[in-house]
Amino acid sequence: MESLSMHHYPVGVFHPNLWGDYFITHASTSSNELSQIQSKIDELKLNPSKMLKETTNHHQSLVLIDTMQHLGVAYHFEIEIDEILNKIHRTGFNPSEDMQTVALGFRLLRQHGLPASPDVFTKFLDEDGDLLNLGSTQSIEDLLGLYEASYFLTPDEKILEKAAYHARNHLELVVDDLNPYMKQMVSRALQIPRLKRVERLEARQFINVYELQQNRIEMLLEFAKLDFQCVQSLHHEELRHLSLWKKEHLRTETKFPFARDRVVESHFWMTGVYFEPCYSSARIFAAKILYLMAILDDIYDQRGTPEELQLFTETINRWELKNCDKLPEDLKQYFHILDNTLKESQEELKLEHKSFRIEYLRDE
């Protein structure tokens, strides 16, 4: 059977690739500079770890953990943070602890997958679910903490509905009168709650916000700046690898001119899932698959006729190379690219005895 002819394809116009060869031609931080930065990080890292281990006060521990998460450095101290949160989960909150401490603890426990009952907020509410003495006994930190915690409730947990609503209204009324640090904290929360923020963007933005805090920990701020630079350099190298893979190995602009070129966006998406350095290989692989899936989507939307796409779908479902000869040249090339990408990743995973994961992915 001869290859299916190319005719009557729908036409779409996508925004062109904005990045070009930027990540290929622009060098990231030099290896010597990175080595110096890493040495300084290793030196500074001892202090936050010591602070987490030695702090016994719930409020201080939770504020420190929250600050580390905002700054994007909490991944360095996962063991210490887990120990603190597990201890709070076992012992519970003290009856005398204020709303900020309870709300922050509730949010962090749920954020880390630990059970936390919303009943801990009962003592701050009246019979109707309103905050007791709204605006008179609670600080801005209290109201902000409760508002952020409300996003970690499940749909059937109604206890904070009214309280969070009134807390938001009160924060909106006073935000312009707050000091620069609290104004930033409140306005950012009102715009995008903590739960919905992308971690890397949050780290970059919060570094500037934290500089406004009068009682900031200078050592922690310096540590966060250096760590951000180090992680950003790694992400730059990953983008360089992906850009070269796309340009020299795939040559997608020539083979699939109808498709979106979104390799940088695919990588950015994956940094939102896991940004930590230890996931570098997984991030690169996932970005490749996302990029190829975007092209696949455009093949179905922009490129193929119904007859071609039916055969193309059957080829992918069966994963049989012999059926490729019946496909148009560009669809044949796409299938080979997808197959080779999975095979290359499978070879890499053999070193970790995890190559079976590619078989699961291929089956899906």
What's the confidence (pLDDT) of residue 354? 77
Choosing among 3.30.420.40, 3.90.650.10, 2.60.120.200, 1.10.600.10, the CATH entry for 22-26+225-363 is: 1.10.600.10
Q: Token pair 């919905």 is at which residue?
A: 196
Separation CA 235–CA 270 (nearest Å): 11
Residue 92 backbone zone (phi > 0: left; psi -120 to 50: alpha; other: beta): left
Q: What is the pLDDT tens value at each position of the chain, 364 positions in all?
A: 444 444 445 555 677 788 888 999 988 888 899 999 999 999 999 999 999 999 989 999 999 999 999 999 999 999 999 999 999 999 999 988 999 999 999 999 999 999 999 999 999 988 888 888 766 557 899 999 999 999 999 988 988 888 899 899 999 999 999 999 999 999 999 999 999 999 999 999 999 999 999 999 999 999 999 999 999 999 999 999 999 999 988 888 888 888 888 999 999 999 999 999 999 999 999 999 999 999 999 999 888 788 999 999 998 888 877 778 888 998 999 999 999 999 988 888 888 777 777 776 777 6
Largest alpha-carbon pair distance within the chain?
81
Separation CA 189–CA 138 (nearest Å): 18
**Local structure of residue 2 (DSSP, 8 states):** P
**Local structure of residue 125 (DSSP, 8 states):** B
Residues of the chain with CATH 1.50.10.130: 45-216
Fold adopted by 45-216 = Glycosyltransferase (1.50.10)
Residues of the chain with CATH 1.10.600.10: 22-26+225-363
